[in-house]
Amino acid sequence: MKNTKLKNISLAATAACLLALPAVQAADWNGDGDGFSWEDGDNWGDNAEPTAGSLARFNAVSGSSDVYITQAGELADRFIIGQGGTIHKLTIESGGSLTTDSGTVSRIGQTSEGWLTMNGGTLTIGVGGYSSDAGGRLIINDGDVNLGGNSSVGTSATNQTGFLEINGSTATIDVAGAYTFGSFSTTIFTLDSALAGVSAVNNTGDLNLDALSTLTVDFRGYDFSANKGSDIVLFDYGTLGGGGADTFGTINFIGGFGELDYTTGGQIRLLSVVPEPSSTALLGLGLSSLLLRRKRS
């Protein structure tokens, strides 16, 4: 009898603690304020912008589909961008910041396409990480991006492709734990000619690649003459292939060619980078024209 009473007391205490925890409230975007500013409370249900206890949800068919964060200190428990058949695009500009603090995953693309674009500022996602499916895109042009411990791209067979796009080398990208690129994932690196590469994904945990994942590297803005012989780091990682294959399934090069090395010092490196033959021919033609002009002068 004593043990039963103690168990009942323990269960009652646990239930009381759970009831005491603040419930996560949905903050639904409606665009009824200025139509584009996260910071304008009138754009949200209950006329208040999200707080640390809010699920920031973009699922309405009304209001603007383009939302911007321009101020520092914006908060949410987590977010869903792309729900209810409407495409939404959230952009964090220079000087803006968004922090989530949830053990539950944030979603870019849940039932419809959603975009989260970094043009500067800071994005910090809690331990629940983020997932990108249903055409969801995380586009990193600039800024500081800190992803949670269980993030994934393109892992849902029902919701199809998810995207990670990294353009240039001015951003910092850190992952606290596992980062999984599933069979429906497309990862795109666009090389930056001015800064000779891209920002590496710095992952201290497991980097998991599915055998059907896709990697695309776009060389069209890359200055081969100035960066000849340079190796380009795409990923730093703690452990590779913990949840699937140890290579990307499909690799596409646009405007050039290279060789991927998965084994050097915990990094995925792009080696032996050369322009495609048409680019090489154009470069040779330009040099020939220059020589002809010099001779004539």
pLDDT band at residue 141 under the 50/70/90 scheme: very high
173: CB partners within 8 A, 6+ apart: 140, 145, 147, 166, 199, 200, 201, 202
Tell me phi and psi for residue 204, to 5 degrees.
-80, -10
Q: Compute the average pLDDT of residues 12-32.
A: 66
pLDDT on residue 230: 78
Ordered strands of the 54-58 beta sheet: 25-28, 54-58, 78-81, 106-108, 130-132, 150-153, 178-181, 206-209, 239-240
Report the predicted TM-score, pTM, of the whole model to 2 decimal places.
0.85
Q: Compute the average pLDDT of residues 283-289.
A: 40
Contact at 8 Å (CB) between 246 and 260?
no
Task: Report which of 46, 50, 37 is spatially closest to residue 80, judged by C-alpha positions.
Answer: 50
Q: 35 in helix, strand or coil? A: coil
Range picked from 1-5, 80-84, 119-123, 197-201 for highest mean pLDDT: 119-123
Q: Compute the average pLDDT of residues 233-245.
A: 85
> Cα–Cα distance between 208 and 210 in angstroms, integer?
7
